[in-house]
Structure 1
Amino acid sequence: MNATVTRPSASRTPLVALACVREDLDGVAHAAVRQVYVSALEDVAGCAVVLVQGPASWLPSVLDRFDGVVLGGHESNVAPERYGAPPAPGPRAPERDELALSLAPLAIEAGLPLLGICRGLQELNVAYGGTLRDIGALPIGAAHREDLSLPRDGQYLPLHDIAVTPGGRLREITGQDTVRVNSLHQQAIDRLATGLTVEAVAADGVVEAVSVTDASAFALAVQWHPEWYAASDPVSKPLFTAFGAAAAAHARGRG
Protein backbone atom coordinates (compact mmCIF):
# COMPACT_ATOMS: atom_id res chain seq x y z
CA MET A 1 0.00 0.00 0.00
CA ASN A 2 1.34 3.39 -0.97
CA ALA A 3 1.29 6.04 1.74
CA THR A 4 0.44 9.62 0.86
CA VAL A 5 2.74 12.13 2.48
CA THR A 6 1.29 15.56 3.14
CA ARG A 7 3.91 18.26 3.36
CA PRO A 8 3.25 21.51 5.22
CA SER A 9 2.92 24.47 2.88
CA ALA A 10 5.77 26.92 3.34
CA SER A 11 5.08 30.60 3.02
CA ARG A 12 6.91 32.18 0.11
CA THR A 13 9.14 35.13 0.97
CA PRO A 14 8.39 37.89 -1.55
CA LEU A 15 11.27 38.73 -3.87
CA VAL A 16 11.61 42.40 -4.85
CA ALA A 17 13.80 44.12 -7.42
CA LEU A 18 15.65 47.12 -5.99
CA ALA A 19 17.07 49.54 -8.57
CA CYS A 20 20.73 50.36 -8.01
CA VAL A 21 23.26 52.65 -9.69
CA ARG A 22 26.71 52.12 -11.14
CA GLU A 23 29.33 53.90 -9.06
CA ASP A 24 33.10 53.90 -9.42
CA LEU A 25 34.85 53.37 -6.09
CA ASP A 26 38.62 53.38 -5.99
CA GLY A 27 38.72 52.99 -9.75
CA VAL A 28 36.45 49.93 -9.76
CA ALA A 29 32.83 49.86 -10.96
CA HIS A 30 30.27 48.82 -8.32
CA ALA A 31 26.53 48.20 -8.39
CA ALA A 32 25.63 50.50 -5.49
CA VAL A 33 22.65 51.15 -3.24
CA ARG A 34 22.52 52.32 0.36
CA GLN A 35 22.20 49.56 2.90
CA VAL A 36 19.28 51.32 4.62
CA TYR A 37 17.05 50.44 1.64
CA VAL A 38 17.96 46.76 1.84
CA SER A 39 17.50 46.70 5.62
CA ALA A 40 14.09 48.39 5.44
CA LEU A 41 12.88 45.94 2.81
CA GLU A 42 14.25 42.88 4.60
CA ASP A 43 13.55 43.77 8.24
CA VAL A 44 10.34 45.82 7.99
CA ALA A 45 8.70 44.80 4.70
CA GLY A 46 9.75 41.16 5.09
CA CYS A 47 11.08 40.86 1.54
CA ALA A 48 14.14 39.30 -0.08
CA VAL A 49 16.03 41.77 -2.25
CA VAL A 50 17.70 41.50 -5.66
CA LEU A 51 19.66 44.48 -7.02
CA VAL A 52 18.96 45.38 -10.65
CA GLN A 53 21.02 47.79 -12.72
CA GLY A 54 20.28 49.39 -16.07
CA PRO A 55 20.19 49.28 -18.94
CA ALA A 56 18.46 45.93 -18.57
CA SER A 57 16.95 44.65 -21.81
CA TRP A 58 16.47 41.27 -20.14
CA LEU A 59 14.11 42.62 -17.47
CA PRO A 60 10.83 41.90 -19.30
CA SER A 61 11.80 38.23 -19.57
CA VAL A 62 12.35 37.84 -15.80
CA LEU A 63 9.80 40.27 -14.38
CA ASP A 64 7.41 37.44 -13.54
CA ARG A 65 9.95 36.13 -11.01
CA PHE A 66 9.55 39.22 -8.82
CA ASP A 67 6.85 40.19 -6.34
CA GLY A 68 7.59 43.91 -6.24
CA VAL A 69 9.79 46.73 -7.52
CA VAL A 70 11.45 49.52 -5.53
CA LEU A 71 12.93 52.66 -7.06
CA GLY A 72 14.96 54.26 -4.29
CA GLY A 73 16.79 57.54 -4.02
CA HIS A 74 20.22 58.56 -5.25
CA GLU A 75 22.40 61.67 -5.33
CA SER A 76 21.97 61.94 -9.10
CA ASN A 77 19.05 63.70 -10.81
CA VAL A 78 16.90 62.56 -13.72
CA ALA A 79 18.38 64.03 -16.90
CA PRO A 80 16.23 66.99 -18.12
CA GLU A 81 16.33 65.60 -21.67
CA ARG A 82 14.21 62.70 -20.40
CA TYR A 83 11.23 65.02 -19.94
CA GLY A 84 11.83 67.43 -22.82
CA ALA A 85 13.76 70.14 -20.95
CA PRO A 86 17.08 71.67 -22.07
CA PRO A 87 20.23 69.95 -20.82
CA ALA A 88 21.53 71.26 -17.51
CA PRO A 89 24.53 70.55 -15.28
CA GLY A 90 24.15 68.22 -12.36
CA PRO A 91 24.97 64.71 -11.19
CA ARG A 92 23.56 62.20 -13.67
CA ALA A 93 23.09 58.43 -13.83
CA PRO A 94 21.97 57.64 -17.39
CA GLU A 95 21.84 53.88 -16.79
CA ARG A 96 19.51 54.43 -13.85
CA ASP A 97 17.28 56.71 -15.94
CA GLU A 98 16.99 54.06 -18.64
CA LEU A 99 16.27 51.32 -16.11
CA ALA A 100 13.67 53.17 -14.06
CA LEU A 101 11.77 54.81 -16.90
CA SER A 102 11.25 51.45 -18.60
CA LEU A 103 10.87 49.33 -15.47
CA ALA A 104 8.15 51.36 -13.75
CA PRO A 105 5.48 51.04 -16.49
CA LEU A 106 6.38 47.38 -17.04
CA ALA A 107 5.95 46.63 -13.35
CA ILE A 108 2.60 48.42 -13.15
CA GLU A 109 1.33 46.67 -16.28
CA ALA A 110 2.41 43.32 -14.83
CA GLY A 111 0.51 43.99 -11.60
CA LEU A 112 3.63 44.15 -9.45
CA PRO A 113 3.57 46.29 -6.29
CA LEU A 114 5.80 49.32 -6.77
CA LEU A 115 7.32 51.68 -4.21
CA GLY A 116 9.15 54.83 -5.31
CA ILE A 117 11.31 56.87 -2.95
CA CYS A 118 12.68 60.38 -3.66
CA ARG A 119 14.28 59.93 -7.10
CA GLY A 120 11.82 57.08 -7.54
CA LEU A 121 8.87 59.49 -7.33
CA GLN A 122 10.47 61.72 -9.94
CA GLU A 123 11.19 58.75 -12.18
CA LEU A 124 7.60 57.54 -11.92
CA ASN A 125 6.29 60.96 -12.93
CA VAL A 126 8.64 61.18 -15.93
CA ALA A 127 7.91 57.57 -16.95
CA TYR A 128 4.22 58.48 -17.26
CA GLY A 129 4.86 61.68 -19.22
CA GLY A 130 5.20 64.31 -16.48
CA THR A 131 7.94 66.90 -16.00
CA LEU A 132 10.24 68.02 -13.19
CA ARG A 133 11.57 71.34 -11.89
CA ASP A 134 14.74 72.24 -10.03
CA ILE A 135 13.96 73.66 -6.58
CA GLY A 136 17.53 73.72 -5.33
CA ALA A 137 18.04 77.43 -5.97
CA LEU A 138 14.53 78.48 -4.90
CA PRO A 139 13.62 79.73 -1.40
CA ILE A 140 11.28 76.76 -0.96
CA GLY A 141 14.26 74.48 -1.40
CA ALA A 142 15.41 75.17 2.16
CA ALA A 143 12.76 72.87 3.59
CA HIS A 144 13.93 70.11 1.25
CA ARG A 145 17.67 70.20 1.93
CA GLU A 146 19.66 68.43 4.59
CA ASP A 147 21.67 70.35 7.18
CA LEU A 148 25.19 69.23 6.33
CA SER A 149 26.48 70.42 9.70
CA LEU A 150 24.60 67.56 11.38
CA PRO A 151 25.61 63.90 11.57
CA ARG A 152 23.98 61.79 8.86
CA ASP A 153 21.34 60.42 11.24
CA GLY A 154 20.41 63.99 12.13
CA GLN A 155 20.19 65.05 8.50
CA TYR A 156 17.46 62.46 7.92
CA LEU A 157 15.24 63.37 10.86
CA PRO A 158 11.69 64.52 9.94
CA LEU A 159 11.81 68.24 9.19
CA HIS A 160 8.48 69.50 7.84
CA ASP A 161 4.79 68.61 7.67
CA ILE A 162 2.84 67.56 4.61
CA ALA A 163 -0.92 67.42 4.02
CA VAL A 164 -2.18 63.95 3.13
CA THR A 165 -4.97 63.75 0.55
CA PRO A 166 -8.29 62.65 2.15
CA GLY A 167 -9.49 59.31 0.89
CA GLY A 168 -6.16 58.47 -0.73
CA ARG A 169 -3.94 55.43 -0.43
CA LEU A 170 -1.40 57.20 1.77
CA ARG A 171 -4.18 58.39 4.08
CA GLU A 172 -5.34 54.79 4.38
CA ILE A 173 -1.81 53.62 5.23
CA THR A 174 -0.88 56.32 7.74
CA GLY A 175 -4.32 57.04 9.21
CA GLN A 176 -3.36 60.72 9.46
CA ASP A 177 -4.25 63.94 7.68
CA THR A 178 -0.84 65.51 8.36
CA VAL A 179 2.49 63.76 8.72
CA ARG A 180 6.07 64.94 9.32
CA VAL A 181 8.71 63.83 6.84
CA ASN A 182 12.34 64.29 5.77
CA SER A 183 12.27 65.45 2.14
CA LEU A 184 15.83 65.90 0.85
CA HIS A 185 15.97 66.53 -2.89
CA GLN A 186 16.76 69.00 -5.67
CA GLN A 187 14.17 67.99 -8.28
CA ALA A 188 10.42 68.01 -7.74
CA ILE A 189 7.31 67.36 -9.80
CA ASP A 190 6.41 70.26 -12.10
CA ARG A 191 3.64 68.94 -14.36
CA LEU A 192 1.93 65.90 -12.90
CA ALA A 193 1.74 62.99 -15.31
CA THR A 194 -1.61 61.82 -16.58
CA GLY A 195 -2.45 58.62 -14.75
CA LEU A 196 -0.98 59.70 -11.41
CA THR A 197 -2.91 60.95 -8.38
CA VAL A 198 -1.49 63.36 -5.80
CA GLU A 199 -1.39 61.71 -2.36
CA ALA A 200 0.31 64.48 -0.33
CA VAL A 201 1.55 68.06 -0.73
CA ALA A 202 3.91 70.24 1.32
CA ALA A 203 2.92 73.73 2.45
CA ASP A 204 5.15 75.21 -0.26
CA GLY A 205 3.27 73.33 -2.99
CA VAL A 206 5.81 70.58 -3.59
CA VAL A 207 4.10 67.26 -4.40
CA GLU A 208 5.24 64.83 -1.72
CA ALA A 209 3.50 61.61 -2.75
CA VAL A 210 1.68 60.17 -5.75
CA SER A 211 -0.03 56.92 -6.68
CA VAL A 212 -0.75 55.30 -10.02
CA THR A 213 -4.47 55.92 -10.39
CA ASP A 214 -5.59 52.72 -12.10
CA ALA A 215 -2.90 50.33 -10.88
CA SER A 216 -4.15 46.88 -9.97
CA ALA A 217 -1.66 46.57 -7.10
CA PHE A 218 0.14 48.81 -4.60
CA ALA A 219 1.76 51.62 -6.63
CA LEU A 220 2.87 54.54 -4.47
CA ALA A 221 5.84 56.92 -4.55
CA VAL A 222 6.95 59.41 -1.89
CA GLN A 223 9.34 62.34 -2.11
CA TRP A 224 10.86 61.82 1.32
CA HIS A 225 13.16 59.12 2.75
CA PRO A 226 11.15 56.57 4.78
CA GLU A 227 13.98 54.03 4.57
CA TRP A 228 16.14 55.89 7.11
CA TYR A 229 13.98 55.22 10.18
CA ALA A 230 11.82 52.49 8.68
CA ALA A 231 11.61 50.39 11.84
CA SER A 232 10.58 53.19 14.21
CA ASP A 233 9.11 56.20 12.41
CA PRO A 234 5.27 56.25 12.65
CA VAL A 235 4.97 57.14 8.95
CA SER A 236 7.79 55.05 7.50
CA LYS A 237 7.02 51.77 9.22
CA PRO A 238 3.40 51.41 8.00
CA LEU A 239 4.51 52.41 4.50
CA PHE A 240 7.04 49.58 4.29
CA THR A 241 4.64 47.21 6.03
CA ALA A 242 1.95 47.98 3.45
CA PHE A 243 4.36 47.44 0.57
CA GLY A 244 5.55 44.18 2.14
CA ALA A 245 1.97 42.97 2.53
CA ALA A 246 1.27 43.72 -1.13
CA ALA A 247 4.44 41.89 -2.19
CA ALA A 248 3.52 38.93 0.02
CA ALA A 249 0.07 38.78 -1.53
CA HIS A 250 1.66 38.73 -4.98
CA ALA A 251 4.03 35.96 -3.88
CA ARG A 252 1.13 33.83 -2.67
CA GLY A 253 -0.62 34.28 -5.99
CA ARG A 254 2.56 33.42 -7.85
CA GLY A 255 3.12 30.38 -5.68
Structure 2
Amino acid sequence: MSARPLVALAASAEPVGGVPHLAVREVYVQALERVSGCAVAVVGGPAPDLAELLGRFDGVVFGGHETDVEPTRYGDPPRSGPADPARDELALRVLPAALLAGVPVLGICRGLQELNVALGGTLRDLPGDEHREDLSLPRDRQYLPAHEVHLSEGGVLRQLLGYASVPVNSLHHQAIDRLAPDLRVEAVAADGVVEAASAGDAFCLAVQWHPEWYAGTDPVSTAIFHGFGVAARLAARRRAQGLPLPRPMSSIGMNN
Protein backbone atom coordinates (compact mmCIF):
# COMPACT_ATOMS: atom_id res chain seq x y z
CA MET A 1 0.00 0.00 0.00
CA SER A 2 1.40 3.41 -0.94
CA ALA A 3 2.27 5.92 1.75
CA ARG A 4 -0.14 8.71 2.52
CA PRO A 5 0.65 12.07 0.94
CA LEU A 6 2.41 14.41 3.34
CA VAL A 7 0.98 17.92 3.67
CA ALA A 8 2.26 20.95 5.57
CA LEU A 9 -0.21 22.61 7.94
CA ALA A 10 0.71 26.19 8.87
CA ALA A 11 0.86 26.87 12.60
CA SER A 12 0.25 30.14 14.42
CA ALA A 13 2.08 31.71 17.34
CA GLU A 14 0.28 31.43 20.68
CA PRO A 15 1.72 32.34 24.08
CA VAL A 16 1.07 29.77 26.79
CA GLY A 17 2.12 30.74 30.29
CA GLY A 18 4.25 33.52 28.86
CA VAL A 19 6.15 31.09 26.62
CA PRO A 20 5.79 31.24 22.80
CA HIS A 21 4.22 28.14 21.26
CA LEU A 22 3.37 27.07 17.73
CA ALA A 23 -0.23 25.89 17.62
CA VAL A 24 -2.80 24.35 15.29
CA ARG A 25 -6.31 23.26 16.18
CA GLU A 26 -6.66 19.52 16.32
CA VAL A 27 -9.79 19.63 14.18
CA TYR A 28 -7.66 20.63 11.15
CA VAL A 29 -5.36 17.66 11.67
CA GLN A 30 -8.31 15.29 12.04
CA ALA A 31 -9.99 16.56 8.88
CA LEU A 32 -6.79 16.23 6.84
CA GLU A 33 -6.01 12.76 8.20
CA ARG A 34 -9.49 11.23 8.22
CA VAL A 35 -11.19 12.90 5.25
CA SER A 36 -8.31 13.98 2.99
CA GLY A 37 -6.36 10.82 3.79
CA CYS A 38 -3.12 12.75 4.33
CA ALA A 39 -0.30 12.65 6.84
CA VAL A 40 0.22 16.06 8.46
CA ALA A 41 3.35 17.96 9.43
CA VAL A 42 2.97 21.21 11.37
CA VAL A 43 5.10 24.06 9.99
CA GLY A 44 5.52 27.46 11.61
CA GLY A 45 7.79 30.15 12.89
CA PRO A 46 10.12 32.00 10.52
CA ALA A 47 9.49 30.93 6.93
CA PRO A 48 11.57 27.83 6.16
CA ASP A 49 13.64 27.38 3.03
CA LEU A 50 11.03 27.29 0.29
CA ALA A 51 12.82 24.79 -1.93
CA GLU A 52 13.06 22.35 0.97
CA LEU A 53 9.45 22.90 2.03
CA LEU A 54 7.91 22.45 -1.38
CA GLY A 55 10.25 19.63 -2.31
CA ARG A 56 9.15 17.55 0.67
CA PHE A 57 5.39 18.11 0.78
CA ASP A 58 2.51 17.07 -1.45
CA GLY A 59 0.29 19.97 -0.39
CA VAL A 60 0.13 23.00 1.89
CA VAL A 61 -2.75 24.11 4.12
CA PHE A 62 -3.30 27.49 5.74
CA GLY A 63 -6.17 27.38 8.22
CA GLY A 64 -7.96 29.99 10.28
CA HIS A 65 -6.84 31.84 13.38
CA GLU A 66 -7.96 34.74 15.55
CA THR A 67 -5.12 36.97 14.32
CA ASP A 68 -5.40 39.19 11.23
CA VAL A 69 -2.94 39.70 8.41
CA GLU A 70 -1.11 42.92 9.29
CA PRO A 71 -2.64 45.78 7.24
CA THR A 72 0.78 47.08 6.23
CA ARG A 73 1.18 43.87 4.20
CA TYR A 74 -1.42 45.14 1.74
CA GLY A 75 -0.74 48.87 1.92
CA ASP A 76 -3.13 49.95 4.68
CA PRO A 77 -2.04 51.93 7.76
CA PRO A 78 -1.03 49.87 10.81
CA ARG A 79 -3.64 49.38 13.53
CA SER A 80 -3.90 47.66 16.84
CA GLY A 81 -5.28 44.15 17.05
CA PRO A 82 -4.17 40.53 17.30
CA ALA A 83 -1.33 39.88 14.85
CA ASP A 84 1.13 37.12 13.97
CA PRO A 85 4.02 38.51 11.88
CA ALA A 86 5.73 35.12 11.56
CA ARG A 87 2.55 33.54 10.18
CA ASP A 88 2.19 36.45 7.73
CA GLU A 89 5.76 35.93 6.54
CA LEU A 90 5.25 32.20 6.14
CA ALA A 91 2.05 32.64 4.13
CA LEU A 92 3.26 35.44 1.91
CA ARG A 93 6.41 33.54 0.96
CA VAL A 94 5.08 29.98 0.73
CA LEU A 95 1.74 30.49 -1.02
CA PRO A 96 3.11 32.17 -4.19
CA ALA A 97 5.94 29.64 -4.35
CA ALA A 98 3.49 26.74 -4.01
CA LEU A 99 1.43 28.08 -6.90
CA LEU A 100 4.51 28.47 -9.07
CA ALA A 101 5.56 24.90 -8.24
CA GLY A 102 2.11 23.37 -8.81
CA VAL A 103 1.82 22.13 -5.20
CA PRO A 104 -1.84 21.70 -4.10
CA VAL A 105 -3.07 24.47 -1.78
CA LEU A 106 -6.02 24.63 0.61
CA GLY A 107 -6.84 27.86 2.46
CA ILE A 108 -9.46 28.30 5.17
CA CYS A 109 -10.68 31.64 6.60
CA ARG A 110 -7.38 33.45 7.33
CA GLY A 111 -5.94 31.22 4.62
CA LEU A 112 -8.19 32.83 1.99
CA GLN A 113 -7.19 36.28 3.18
CA GLU A 114 -3.50 35.31 3.17
CA LEU A 115 -3.75 33.94 -0.37
CA ASN A 116 -5.39 37.15 -1.59
CA VAL A 117 -2.77 39.37 0.05
CA ALA A 118 0.10 37.13 -1.09
CA LEU A 119 -0.99 37.59 -4.71
CA GLY A 120 -1.49 41.34 -4.48
CA GLY A 121 -5.04 41.81 -3.15
CA THR A 122 -6.36 43.74 -0.17
CA LEU A 123 -8.72 43.14 2.77
CA ARG A 124 -11.49 45.09 4.47
CA ASP A 125 -13.31 45.04 7.79
CA LEU A 126 -16.96 44.05 7.55
CA PRO A 127 -19.63 46.29 9.10
CA GLY A 128 -22.02 44.84 11.63
CA ASP A 129 -22.19 41.26 12.86
CA GLU A 130 -23.79 39.51 9.89
CA HIS A 131 -20.73 37.36 9.17
CA ARG A 132 -19.51 36.93 12.75
CA GLU A 133 -20.21 34.00 15.00
CA ASP A 134 -22.66 34.30 17.90
CA LEU A 135 -20.39 33.91 20.91
CA SER A 136 -23.37 33.22 23.17
CA LEU A 137 -23.88 29.87 21.42
CA PRO A 138 -21.99 26.65 22.26
CA ARG A 139 -18.92 26.18 20.07
CA ASP A 140 -20.45 23.34 18.02
CA ARG A 141 -23.44 25.51 17.12
CA GLN A 142 -21.22 28.41 16.06
CA TYR A 143 -19.93 26.19 13.24
CA LEU A 144 -23.37 25.26 11.88
CA PRO A 145 -24.52 26.77 8.55
CA ALA A 146 -25.38 30.48 8.85
CA HIS A 147 -26.09 31.59 5.26
CA GLU A 148 -25.88 30.44 1.65
CA VAL A 149 -23.19 31.20 -0.90
CA HIS A 150 -23.62 31.21 -4.67
CA LEU A 151 -21.02 29.12 -6.53
CA SER A 152 -19.47 30.44 -9.73
CA GLU A 153 -20.44 28.55 -12.87
CA GLY A 154 -17.55 26.40 -14.12
CA GLY A 155 -15.58 26.93 -10.91
CA VAL A 156 -13.75 24.37 -8.79
CA LEU A 157 -16.41 24.40 -6.06
CA ARG A 158 -19.30 24.03 -8.50
CA GLN A 159 -17.55 21.00 -10.01
CA LEU A 160 -16.76 19.50 -6.59
CA LEU A 161 -20.23 20.01 -5.13
CA GLY A 162 -22.58 19.93 -8.11
CA TYR A 163 -24.84 22.71 -6.79
CA ALA A 164 -25.38 26.36 -7.67
CA SER A 165 -25.52 27.39 -4.00
CA VAL A 166 -24.74 25.76 -0.66
CA PRO A 167 -25.15 26.64 3.04
CA VAL A 168 -21.97 27.50 4.98
CA ASN A 169 -21.03 28.70 8.44
CA SER A 170 -19.71 32.21 9.07
CA LEU A 171 -17.11 33.20 11.67
CA HIS A 172 -15.14 36.17 10.36
CA HIS A 173 -14.95 39.95 10.63
CA GLN A 174 -12.77 40.63 7.56
CA ALA A 175 -13.12 39.78 3.88
CA ILE A 176 -11.49 40.32 0.51
CA ASP A 177 -11.67 43.92 -0.67
CA ARG A 178 -9.71 44.07 -3.93
CA LEU A 179 -9.36 40.61 -5.43
CA ALA A 180 -5.80 39.67 -6.41
CA PRO A 181 -5.34 39.64 -10.21
CA ASP A 182 -4.51 35.94 -10.35
CA LEU A 183 -7.47 34.78 -8.26
CA ARG A 184 -10.87 33.66 -9.55
CA VAL A 185 -14.01 34.15 -7.47
CA GLU A 186 -15.49 30.77 -6.57
CA ALA A 187 -18.33 31.81 -4.26
CA VAL A 188 -20.09 34.95 -3.04
CA ALA A 189 -22.59 35.66 -0.28
CA ALA A 190 -25.84 37.51 -0.91
CA ASP A 191 -24.25 40.78 0.26
CA GLY A 192 -21.40 40.43 -2.25
CA VAL A 193 -18.72 39.21 0.16
CA VAL A 194 -16.25 36.93 -1.65
CA GLU A 195 -16.53 33.60 0.14
CA ALA A 196 -14.10 31.48 -1.89
CA ALA A 197 -11.43 31.84 -4.57
CA SER A 198 -9.12 29.67 -6.65
CA ALA A 199 -5.99 30.11 -8.76
CA GLY A 200 -4.14 28.34 -11.55
CA ASP A 201 -4.95 24.98 -13.08
CA ALA A 202 -3.63 22.78 -10.26
CA PHE A 203 -5.70 22.46 -7.06
CA CYS A 204 -5.62 25.83 -5.27
CA LEU A 205 -8.81 26.54 -3.37
CA ALA A 206 -9.46 28.85 -0.41
CA VAL A 207 -12.76 29.41 1.40
CA GLN A 208 -13.82 32.04 3.93
CA TRP A 209 -15.92 29.64 6.00
CA HIS A 210 -14.75 26.73 8.18
CA PRO A 211 -15.23 23.28 6.60
CA GLU A 212 -12.90 21.58 9.09
CA TRP A 213 -15.31 21.50 12.04
CA TYR A 214 -17.82 19.08 10.47
CA ALA A 215 -15.52 17.70 7.77
CA GLY A 216 -16.68 14.13 8.30
CA THR A 217 -20.43 14.74 8.35
CA ASP A 218 -21.26 17.86 6.33
CA PRO A 219 -21.33 17.02 2.59
CA VAL A 220 -19.93 20.40 1.51
CA SER A 221 -17.03 20.16 3.96
CA THR A 222 -16.34 16.53 3.12
CA ALA A 223 -16.15 17.30 -0.60
CA ILE A 224 -13.62 20.10 -0.06
CA PHE A 225 -11.27 17.98 2.04
CA HIS A 226 -11.74 14.97 -0.22
CA GLY A 227 -10.90 17.07 -3.29
CA PHE A 228 -7.73 18.35 -1.66
CA GLY A 229 -6.78 14.80 -0.68
CA VAL A 230 -7.18 13.58 -4.27
CA ALA A 231 -4.90 16.40 -5.48
CA ALA A 232 -2.30 15.62 -2.82
CA ARG A 233 -2.30 11.92 -3.72
CA LEU A 234 -1.77 12.77 -7.38
CA ALA A 235 1.14 15.01 -6.41
CA ALA A 236 2.63 12.25 -4.24
CA ARG A 237 2.29 9.73 -7.07
CA ARG A 238 4.11 12.00 -9.49
CA ARG A 239 6.93 12.48 -7.02
CA ALA A 240 7.19 8.72 -6.44
CA GLN A 241 7.44 8.21 -10.20
CA GLY A 242 10.11 10.87 -10.49
CA LEU A 243 7.83 13.14 -12.52
CA PRO A 244 7.76 16.90 -11.99
CA LEU A 245 4.60 18.51 -10.72
CA PRO A 246 2.61 20.56 -13.22
CA ARG A 247 3.71 24.20 -13.25
CA PRO A 248 0.46 25.94 -14.15
CA MET A 249 1.52 29.47 -13.33
CA SER A 250 4.67 30.87 -14.95
CA SER A 251 4.33 34.23 -13.21
CA ILE A 252 2.09 35.65 -10.50
CA GLY A 253 1.67 39.00 -8.84
CA MET A 254 3.26 38.53 -5.45
CA ASN A 255 2.83 41.02 -2.62
CA ASN A 256 6.13 40.50 -0.80
TM-score (norm 2): 0.92
* SS at structure 1 position matched to 2:197: strand
Q: Where does residue 19 of structure 2 map in the other structure?
A: 28
Amino acid at match of 2:56: R
Question: Within 2, Cα distance between the matches of 1:75 and 1:43?
Answer: 25
Question: Within 2, Cα distance between the matches of 1:187 and 1:55?
Answer: 25
Q: Where does residue 44 of structure 2 map in the other structure?
A: 53
Q: Of residues 4, 7, 21 in structure 2, which corresponds to 1:13?
A: 4
Q: Unpaired runs of 5+ in structure 2? A: 241-256
Q: Where does residue 77 of structure 1 map in the other structure?
A: 68
Question: Within 1, Cα distance between the matches of 2:223 and 2:130?
Answer: 24
Q: Of residues 52, 64, 89 in structure 1, which corresponds to 2:55?
A: 64
- Whether the 8 Å CA contact 1:200–1:208 is kept in 2: the answer is yes
Does residue 129 of the first structure (1) align with residue 128 of the second (2)?
no
Q: Where does residue 196 of structure 2 map in the other structure?
A: 209
Shift of the alpha carbon at 1:167? Answer: 1.0
Shift of the alpha carbon at 1:61? Answer: 2.3
* SS at structure 2 position matched to 1:161: strand
Amino acid at match of 1:193: A
- Whether the 8 Å CA contact 2:50–2:97 is kept in 1: the answer is no
Does residue 243 of the first structure (1) align with residue 234 of the second (2)?
no
Question: Within 2, Cα distance between the matches of 1:188 and 1:66?
Answer: 29
Question: Within 2, Cα distance between the matches of 1:163 and 1:208?
Answer: 9
Q: Where does residue 93 of structure 2 map in the other structure?
A: 102
Q: Where does residue 218 of structure 1 map in the other structure?
A: 203
Does residue 189 of the first structure (1) align with residue 173 of the second (2)?
no
- Whether the 8 Å CA contact 1:100–1:123 is kept in 2: the answer is yes
- Whether the 8 Å CA contact 2:47–2:90 is kept in 1: the answer is yes
Question: Within 1, Cα distance between the matches of 2:82 and 2:37?
Answer: 32
Q: Aligned-residue CA RMSD in angstroms?
A: 1.0
Question: Could you list the runs of 4 or more consecutive aligned residues of structure 1 that deviate by over 4 angstroms after TM superposition?
Answer: none
Question: Within 2, Cα distance between the matches of 1:57 and 1:235?
Answer: 33
Does residue 168 of the first structure (1) align with residue 155 of the second (2)?
yes
Larger radius of gyration: 1
Q: Of residues 86, 99, 105 in structure 2, which corresponds to 1:114?
A: 105
- Whether the 8 Å CA contact 1:182–1:225 is kept in 2: the answer is yes
- Whether the 8 Å CA contact 1:143–1:160 is kept in 2: the answer is no
- Whether the 8 Å CA contact 1:143–1:159 is kept in 2: the answer is no
Q: Of residues 121, 146, 151 in structure 1, which corresponds to 2:133?
A: 146
Aligned length: 240
* SS at structure 1 position matched to 2:130: helix
Shift of the alpha carbon at 1:48? Answer: 0.3
- Whether the 8 Å CA contact 2:102–2:202 is kept in 1: the answer is yes
Amino acid at match of 1:49: V
